[in-house]
Amino acid sequence: MLTRIDHIGIACFDLDKTVEFYRATYGFEVFHSEVNEEQGVREAMLKINETSDGGASYLQLLEPTREDSTVAKWLAKNGEGVHHIAFGTADVDGDAEEIKGKGVRVLYEEPRRGSMGSRITFLHPKDCHGVLTELVTSAPVESPEH
């Protein structure tokens, strides 16, 4: 079951400048940043709010790390802007399977690694009225050492 907006993915040419815009304009701070080579992105997650299912909602700012990445290709065609939306779920495998059964193309056989150790998959934008849609299960919260 999809229970929240996990994040909105925003493609940009210059991650540092875009982070600075969100900080100076709205006061949003970087909660986490990483490079995901498989996805071809350098990214910053800005936490906007906690959610009632124990998760949170973020903005995900994305800068391509290589010319042949999906985000580089998208930026070349569209310029900067909203690239995808991501719904949070406790069960990305089950939800992807169920949605696939409704005739929507799921892009990965198995979920892959996303931000902060999450597991992610994508639905084809052409099957979702033009919206590239990601499904995310956050990494389990590690219990403190005793």
Binding-site ranges for ligand CMX (CB under 6 A): 9, 36, 39, 41, 60, 62, 70-71, 73-74, 83-84, 107, 114-115, 122, 124-126, 130, 132, 134
Nearer to ligand CMX, 55 or 146 (CB): 55
Backbone angles phi, psi at 129, to 5 degrees: 50, 40
Which positions ≥6 away from 135 have C-beta within 8 Å? 2, 86, 87, 89, 92, 95, 96, 99, 111, 120, 121, 122, 123
* Length in residues, the chain: 146
Q: How far is the CB of 28 from ligand CMX (least distance, A)?
A: 18
Q: Can you tell me which of 9, 40, 88, 111 binds Co ion, judged by CB under 5 A? A: 9
Q: Which does 61 bind (CB under 5 to 8 A by kind): Co ion, ligand CMX, none?
A: none
Nearer to ligand CMX by C-beta: 50 or 78? Answer: 78
The number of angstroms, rounded, from the C-alpha of 145 to the middle of its chain's C-alpha atoms is 29
Choose the one of ligand CMX, Co ion, none that binds residue 44, judging by a C-beta under 5 to 8 angstroms depending on kind.
none
Residue 6 near residue 138 (C-beta atoms within 8 A)? yes
Q: What is the DSSP letter of 139?
A: P
Query: Binding partner of residue 5 among ligand CMX, Co ion, none, CB under 5 to 8 Å per kind?
Result: none
Active site residues: 7, 43, 60, 84, 134
